[in-house]
Structure 1
Amino acid sequence: MRNFPVFRLRVTTPRLELRLPSLDDLDDLADLAAEGIHDPEAMPFLFPWTDAEPAARARSAFQFHFRQWAAWTPEKWICPFVVVFDGQVAGVQEVAATDFTITREVATGSWLGKRFHGRGIGTEMRSAVLHLAFDGLGAGTATSGAFTDNHASLAVSRKLGYRDDGVDVHVRRGERAETRRFRLLRGDWTTPPGFAIHGLDPCLALFGADHAERT
């Protein structure tokens, strides 16, 4: 795809491959969303899309990617990678930015199929997009956030060296809920061994990173 080379971009780790999904990947991702992402009593997302019935969750997971591809500009983009573990689609890891050329800041978000929880995949897939952001795109900072009862996400942020960056208040399922913000500085990041980026150079202009300082 000469006009949208991000489809050839890959980030690999010792156990994972992150890539923009094919249509077959999206089918697998939709099935995974229908199976379940978290316990029903929990809600880790600001927009509670997983409260929908399984068929609606599957359709939402499928359609989300088309919306992001269609809306992508160098000034504002969301790059939702599918995460492949042991040949299986395991979830989504996204990295996003607005005016990256100026701000040099990215934000991340993710979800993982429930049957893939507890294997350290969440840490490894977040590390993969941080490698892309810092070492590939030349980001200066990366942000993340999670509800205060989303202990798995909070643990990943702390494990990877993020610093506390404050608290936001939201309404979740009709009740008050807090999210904790985190910020990771480029100088606090060290890429783990065995991580690699493939096919990045043709994509840099789409990320607004063609003039960014990169390592």
Structure 2
Amino acid sequence: MDDLWPLTGLRVHSDDLELRYMDDTDVVTLARLAADGVHDPEAMPFTVPWTRGTPVQVARSVLAYQWGARAGVTPDRWNLELAAVRGGEVLGSQSLSAHDFPVTRTAETGSWLGRRHQGQGIGLRMRLMILTLFFDGLGGLRATTSAFADNAASNGVTRRIGYAENGTEVLVREGRPATRRAYVLDRAAWDARPAHLRLDVTLAGVDGAREQLGI
């Protein structure tokens, strides 16, 4: 249905890894992956604790969120949820969201991997791929992201790519205060990244995505 909902054709490829706009099968697979675990039970890397509950409750949270993100896309406000896929297996989710993008050229990234796929460098590759889509495909100028201070893996990926720190805030996380760090990466810093962070990336479906998003 590329003619009716062009975002369905959006693809980002790099070697054996693909980011693709989710169809219903991907969404269900992602929900089952989340039900198997996303992080250590003692931790909470998310502002909204959607990973708490029984496996069925977690899966339903993913389904509801993904369906809502898809239905809520407008040129003024959008959240692109892409499945990270390798060898036909869904590994996790990579998002890119923005408000008033045609004016601000700013968007926020977020991601998660199923627990069994963590610690393999996939998160870094996913971030570099979505940033390539953002800067080179969509004409973005300013990428933002954030993570709780105790989320070492996410903060490590962000700093490695070259984001600048952009302040902190204290949020309530499961009834307790927690510090969240904000980061920003502009076009100049992205273009100046070192050679080992320059992946061979192929984009597909970008023209249709730009049309639907009003870019």
Fold similarity call, TM over 0.5: yes
Aligned to 2:199: 193
Q: Share of identical aligned residues, percent?
A: 43
What is the CA deviation profile of residues 145-203 of structure 1, one whole-angstrom value per residue up to 9, with x for unaligned ones?
A: 00000000000100111000000110111111000000001111147231111011122
Q: Which deviates more from structure 2 when the two are superposed, residues 81-90 or residues 95-104?
A: 81-90
Q: CA deviation at 1:30?
A: 1.2
Q: CA deviation at 1:100?
A: 0.3
What is the CA deviation profile of residues 91-150 of structure 1, one whole-angstrom value per residue up to 9, with x for unaligned ones?
A: 000001000010010101111000000110001111111001100111110000000000
Aligned to 1:212: none
Do structure 1's residue 207 and structure 2's residue 213 form an aligned pair?
yes
Q: CA deviation at 1:206?
A: 2.2
The amino acid of 2:168's aligned partner reads V
SS of the residue corresponding to residue 60 of structure 2 reads helix
What is the CA deviation profile of residues 43-93 of structure 1, one whole-angstrom value per residue up to 9, with x for unaligned ones?
A: 000000101211011111122111011111011000000110222100000
Is there any run of 5+ residues in structure 2 with no aligned partner, and where? 192-196
Do structure 1's residue 43 and structure 2's residue 40 form an aligned pair?
no
Aligned to 1:24: 25
SS of the residue corresponding to residue 24 of structure 1 reads helix
Q: How many Å separate the matches in 2 of 1:127 and 1:207? A: 21
Q: How many Å separate the matches in 2 of 1:145 and 1:22? A: 27
Q: How many Å separate the matches in 1 of 2:82 and 2:116? A: 19
Q: How many Å separate the matches in 2 of 1:111 and 1:96? A: 15
Is the CA contact (8 Å cut-off) linking 1:170 and 1:176 kept in structure 2?
Answer: yes
Aligned to 2:120: 119
Q: How many residues align?
A: 209
Give the TM-score normalised by the residue count of structure 1: 0.94
Aligned to 2:133: 132
Q: How many Å separate the matches in 2 of 1:194 and 1:10? A: 14
Is the CA contact (8 Å cut-off) linking 1:74 and 1:205 kept in structure 2?
Answer: no
1:69-148 superposed matches below 5 A: 69-148=70-149
The amino acid of 2:145's aligned partner reads S
Is the CA contact (8 Å cut-off) linking 1:21 and 1:82 kept in structure 2?
Answer: yes
Give the TM-score normalised by the residue count of structure 2: 0.94
Is there any run of 5+ residues in structure 1 with no aligned partner, and where? 210-215
Is the CA contact (8 Å cut-off) linking 2:128 and 2:199 kept in structure 1?
Answer: no
Aligned to 1:213: none
**Runs of 4+ with >3 A deviation:** none
The amino acid of 1:26's aligned partner reads V
Q: Which deviates more from structure 2 when the two are superposed, residues 120-129 or residues 13-22?
A: 13-22
RMSD of aligned alpha carbons: 1.1
